[in-house]
Structures are given as structure tokens and as C-alpha cells.
Chain A
Amino acid sequence: MLRYFRKRLFLLIPVLLGVSLLVFVIVHLAPGDPALTLLGPNATQEELVELRTQLGLDKPLVLQYGLFLKNILKGNLGKSLLSGEPVLSELKQRTPITLRLAIWGTLFSILIGIPLGTLAALYQNTWIDNLCSFFALAGFSFPNFWLALMLMLMFSIYFPVLPSSGMGTWKHLILPVIVIGIQNMAIIARMTRSSMLEIIRQDYIRTAHAKGMPSRIILFRHIFSNALIPVITVIGLNFGNSLGGLVITETVFSIPGTGRLLVDAIRANDYPVVQGGVMFFALFVGLVNLSVDFIYAIVDPRIKSMYR
């Protein structure tokens, strides 16, 4: 089994290579001039040329790509064109902020999503099922920035109990975490529901019932533990996406996270930050997916038996 995962880890490398090429191409295809952003609208031609040389932007593209790859292998993700800061240090500073949001958001969505999905599955096709599914989906259907704005309006202005932006105290986390959680709980609830429905119909559950096992034990020992396995995949996928995927929440609540860093960099043609950032995200996604598969393999008895 370890061999399988080593192979998967190894397979990450061509994917990362592909990502590096794709992002390099996209970023350099995009029209725009970081030198102009830096110097402002009144820059003269000579100043632009001078700055571009200084920033190393005048070298041939293939050379720039080669340098980029070489530096990555050394662990150097480059320096931001706009701030001069090493990309890695900017990422190091912002990643914990976004991860904190992601973790709490995921916890919140699990806390609400799994019970909802369970109820819906246990009472399939009754009004409880409909209500729970509706609830879960409703959260998913509102555009998240709209939700964020409404919550901000409600809890920072009309009833001023929560801060509306920035970070620092646990109070600052509440609104963004709610927004993220509501968005994600639908998928978790849905997955829980369909997974549980599948398990419930299995023969061994019927057998346990027939043997006279109390429903609660059946629920927790057999149904839950098996049903939650595919849910882990979904949670993992969501989490893996969060470094870049939380940009809207970060924008509305003015939280200096990695999503905003990347989007701002894309808009300003800050090549090193985009390239380095995307590589970082891709690595993160790859590792998270791998870990999820690993947990899956450990927890799912079917797969475990495959490797016995």
C-alpha cells in the first residue's frame, strides 16, 4: 500500500510541471505591463524600459521559464514585482490566515451538514427530508458575496455586535466562517444523505435490525462509519480548494488572505506572485487529495482488504 502512495506522490511531479508551464504561459500571454502599474500613468518610455530591465522582464521567455523552474527547485518562488518581497514570505504570512478560515469554515459546515444529511436520509421522502435538503441547498444557492453583505448589514450595522472586517479576535472570524460554512454544508449534507441511503439498503444493516440490535447502535457503529467515508473525499476537495477559493469572502471582509493575494497579483500582472502562488496552491491541493485518499484507504475496509 505504501508503494501505491509513493507512486501517487511521484505522479504529482508531472502534474506540478504541467501546472508550472500552464501558469507561466497564461500569465505571460495576458496583456498588461507590471512596469506601468509600478510607475503610474505618467511614466515615460525610457523609464519603462529601464524598470523592465531592472526587473528582468526583457529576457527571452524561454529563459525566464527556465529560471523560474530552477528557482523553484531551490525553494525560491521569486520576488513580487510590485512589493519586492519574496513570494514565499508573503505566502507564509497569509496562508495561516486563510487556513484558519478554511478550517473553521469546514468544521462549521460539517457540524451542520452531516446532521442535516443524516436526517434527510433517515426520513427519506418525508417532509423532513425535503426540509433538510431544501435548507442545505438554499445555503448553497445564494451568491456568497450577497450572503456576506447581508450578514454584515445585519450584524455589524443594524445590530452592531460583530466587526465587519479585518482580523485579530475570534469575533472577526464569525461572519466569514458562517458564510463559508453555509456555502459548503450543502455538498456535505448531500453527500452524507446519498451515502447513507446507499448503506442503509445494504443487507448487513437489515441483518443487524433482524438480529434485534438497537437502532442507535446500528446508526453509529455501522451506518455512520461507513457512510462518512465518501464524505471525507468531499470535505478534502473543498479544503484543498480553499487557499484560492475563498477570495470572495476575503474581499468582502477585507481579510488579507492568499486568495486575495493571488487575484490582486493576476490583475496587476505580478508574474512571480501568480506563478509562485499557483505552484504553492497546486502542491497544497495535491497533498490534501493524497492525504484524503490515504485516510480513505485506511478507513474503508474494502480497500484495506485489497491490500492484505
Chain B
Amino acid sequence: MEQEKLIVRDKKQSQLQEIWRRFRRNKTALVGLAIVIFLFLVAFFAPLLAPMDPNKAFFKDKLQLPSSTYLLGTDNMGRDILSRIIFGSRISLYIGFIAVGIGGIGGTILGVFAGFYGGKLDNVIMRTMDILLAFPAIILAIAIVGVLGTSLGNLMIAVGISHMPRYARIVRSSTFAVRGQEFVDAARLVGAHDFQIIIENILPNCLAPIIVQSTLGVAQAILAVASMSFLGLGIQPPTAEWGAMLSAGRQYLRITPHLAIFPGLAIATVVLGLNLLGDGLRDALDPKLR
């Protein structure tokens, strides 16, 4: 038994190395990784990096162009845009991960059960996912927020729920692929519980597509929340979220476009980075594309 475990471990290690090697070859994926790491660092060290309190309003200094005091200028209430963008990274990460977490965990559980047990359970679960998918994502999110209210938590729940079907689908097909294989039957013979089988055998197989979908999902969640803020349903003032900043800045587009340009660039950069990373992971993890 020990011998087998060792062999498996080695196999896994060399697999990881192989994946990393493939990943490294892809220049754009590395750029994506760099951006994402940068994002994490900025978010983590935000209080140290930001020159000012992002919510402190100096009314007299409103709508200033970038200068030596305010590196990216000020918004319409006289708040420093650079500080707000830096702190905004925290919120974007927070939103992205929790929304994806809710959607991902929920969707994975549903997908695994659908794939593993098949039959009626599969039918019911997949029909429910179909029902969710029949709503255009943004409409579903708006409707849920309409019911629950516009707090940050509710936004993430709304976005998370609209992501669930995707994970369910992906995990279900991965589960199908593995379920039929012999080692699953073998494990059953040995007396392993269904639960054990799922955790030890099925889930690791789904890991790759889940990771890829999650990376892309964070990007989509950030964009979704920004869109909701644009429609007025998102984050509430004075919280410095990039989408809300963009939305508030658009009425000053003609006189001080930098209010909208900088948060827009921030969103685009982060989303781009995540997308590049996700793409790179997909290429690296997909054995067919060697």
C-alpha cells in the first residue's frame, strides 16, 4: 500500500512540474499571472500603499486633474482617486472570490451529485440549472438583488447564483468521465463509501476545469458587479468600488474624464490579467493540447 502511495505521489509531482513547464512557455499567461500577483499585493498592502484615506472628502479640492498631491486627481467630492483605486482592489478581490466561491461550491456539489448518481437526481438538478440558465445572467442578478436588497453580501449571492449552472455542468461532465472507470468500481469493492470515492477520486479529476472556470469566473464577477453598479444597483457610497466609481464618474465625462478612465483601466487590467491566467491554465492543464 505504502509503495503505491509513493508512486502516486511521485506521479502527481511530476505531473505538476509538467504543467508548470507548459505554463511557463506561454508568455501571455505569465503576464496574466504577474498581474494577478500584483493585484493581490496591492490589496494586501493597501493601507501602506494608499497616500490618503479613500473616504476622506476634501470638498474644496474636487475634480482636480492629476497633480503632485493627488497623483490620479480627485473625484467630485474631493477624494483621492489613487487611494480609492488601491482600496478598490480589496473589494474587487473580495467580491470575485466570494461570488465565485458561492457559485463554485454550490455548483460543484450539485454537479457531482448529478454526475455520480445519475438518473432522476441528475435530471432534477440539471433541469433546475436549465431554469437558472434560461434567465439572462444580468437579469437574474438584478431580480435577486431586487428581492434581497443592495448590500454587498446580497450582490455576491446574486452573482454567485447566476454562476452556479456553469460549474454544475462542468463538474457533471467530468464526473461522468471518471465514474465509469474501473478504479471507481474497484474502490467500491474494497468497501469505500460513496463520499470517500467522490472526494478521493472524482473531485481531483474535476479540479482542472474548476480552477480554470474559477479564474475566469472571478473576472466575470468583477465585471458583473461593475455593470450592476453602472445601473445603480451595486455597491453603495462611499465605498470605493471600481464599478461604482466609474458609474459616478460618467456624468463628469466631458469635463474631467479621468474620473471614469482610471477605474475603467483598473477593471480592464485586472480582468485581462485573470483572463490571461485562466487561459494559460487551461492550455497548461489540458492534456490534449500538448
Binding site for B on A (CB under 8 A): 11, 14-16, 18-19, 22-23, 26-27, 29-32, 125, 130, 133-134, 137-138, 140-146, 149-150, 153, 157, 186, 190, 194, 197-198, 201, 241, 243-245, 247-248, 251, 259, 262-263, 266-267, 274, 278, 281-282, 285-286
9 contacts between A and B (CB under 8 A): A18-B127, A22-B131, A133-B276, A143-B268, A146-B246, A146-B264, A197-B289, A201-B289, A245-B139
Given contacts A134-B276, A145-B250, A244-B136, 12 further A-B contacts (CB under 8 A): A15-B130, A26-B144, A30-B147, A201-B289, A241-B137, A244-B138, A247-B139, A263-B231, A266-B143, A267-B142, A274-B143, A278-B139
Is the beta-carbon distance between B137 and A198 smaller than 8 angstroms? no
Tell whether B27 is near chain A: CB-to-CB under 8 Å: yes
Q: Chain B interface secondary structure, helix, strand, loop or mixed? A: helix
Is the beta-carbon distance between A145 and B227 smaller than 8 angstroms? yes
Interface centre among A16, A137, A194 (most CB of B within 10 A): A137
Q: What is the number of contacts between chain A and chain B, taking CB atoms within 8 Å?
A: 136
Binding site for A on B (CB under 8 A): 25-28, 127-128, 130-131, 133-139, 142-144, 146-147, 219, 223, 226-227, 230-231, 243, 246, 250, 253-254, 257, 260, 264, 267-269, 271-272, 275-276, 279, 282, 286, 288-289
Is the beta-carbon distance between A15 and B134 smaller than 8 angstroms? yes
Q: How far is the CA of A244 from the CA of B272 in the complex (A)?
A: 25
Q: How far is the CA of A173 from the CA of B264 in the complex (A)?
A: 24
Query: How far does the Cβ of B241 sit from chain A's closest Cβ, in whole Å?
Result: 12
Interface centre among B143, B230, B269 (most CB of A within 10 A): B143
Q: Which residue of B lies closest to A17 (CB)?
A: B131
**Across-interface contacts of A262 in B (CB, < 8 A):** 139
Is the beta-carbon distance between B135 and A19 smaller than 8 angstroms? yes
**Across-interface contacts of B143 in A (CB, < 8 A):** 23, 26-27, 30, 266, 274
- Given contacts A143-B226, A143-B227, whether A125 and B25 have CB atoms under 8 Å apart is yes
**Across-interface contacts of A153 in B (CB, < 8 A):** 253, 257
Q: How far is the CA of A245 from the CA of B178 in the complex (A)?
A: 35
Q: How far is the CA of A125 from the CA of B267 in the complex (A)?
A: 27
Is the beta-carbon distance between A26 and B264 smaller than 8 angstroms? no
Q: Which residue of A lies closest to B226 (CB)?
A: A143
Is the beta-carbon distance between A143 and B272 smaller than 8 angstroms? no
In the complex, which of the residues B134, B142, B219 contacts A285, with contact meaning CB atoms closer than 8 Å?
Answer: B134
- Given contacts A138-B272, A140-B275, A145-B230, whether A282 and B134 have CB atoms under 8 Å apart is yes
